[in-house]
Amino acid sequence: MASRPLSLSRDLIARAHPDTVPDDETALTLLSDADLAPELAAMLARRASPEGGLWVFAYGSLLWNPEFAFTEQRLGTLRGWHRRFCLLQRRFRGTPENPGFVLGLDRGGICRGVAFRLDDADPHAILMPVWRREMKGKGYEGRWVTVETEAGPVTALTFMVNRQSDRYTGRLSDAEIADKIATACGHLGPSAEYLLRTVEACARLGIHDRHLWSLQALVAERLRERRAACA
């Protein structure tokens, strides 16, 4: 994967999305820390054993923007789940009228990612920033999973897509997903930038994901068409 150039680029994205988008706080109701704290406490209570350390499995934006300091990282494989753009984003990198997409873990297949080891002195305080980030929009469910690494299996917290959420889209085709990613933009930037940064992070790690690679090519094609139409 790393040996082949990406079709998608920052310049292509910037040319297609030159204007900023204001934030709309009504687009997505967010849970408060008071709402989130009991859920995190319950999740920690379900932790099998603290002896193996405190780990988080990253597969999307946490690969390039982790919400925590970590003491170790390992490439790992999660079986029974795959990463997929299956969660609409009506705020941040999209709008209610033109939602973007973010990744979630959905059932079936395997997922290669990174297991990060965190300081275990105060698990609740250490995990709250990432728990807030992933859980405040009600799009994910936290779960302890077994991640296979070269140094042995680790039990890690990760975030599966919440299939009961009205943001869950099910299994759309890559073409349908690319149509939305190419046009969507929120106050944090274009949806295509999220895709690009994730593909770049996977390439640096030596992770080849056909879903991501197909999407970046399709989105690049649509952005070029959009640019040509505007010209």
DSSP 163: T
Q: Name the β-bridge partners of 186.
A: 189
Distances (CA, A) of 147 to 27, 100, 130, 138, 153: 35, 29, 19, 24, 5
Q: Name the β-bridge partners of 141.
A: 160
Q: What distance in Å separates the CA atoms of residue 151 and residue 170, rounded to the nearest whole number?
A: 34
134 is catalytic: yes
Contacts of 185 (CB under 8 A, 6+ apart): 17, 21, 93, 94, 95, 98, 100, 191
Catalytic residue among 67, 134, 141, 225: 134
Q: What distance in Å separates the CA atoms of residue 37 and residue 23, rounded to the nearest whole number?
A: 26
- Do residues 153 and 53 make contact, with C-beta atoms less than 8 angstroms apart? no
Active site residues: 134
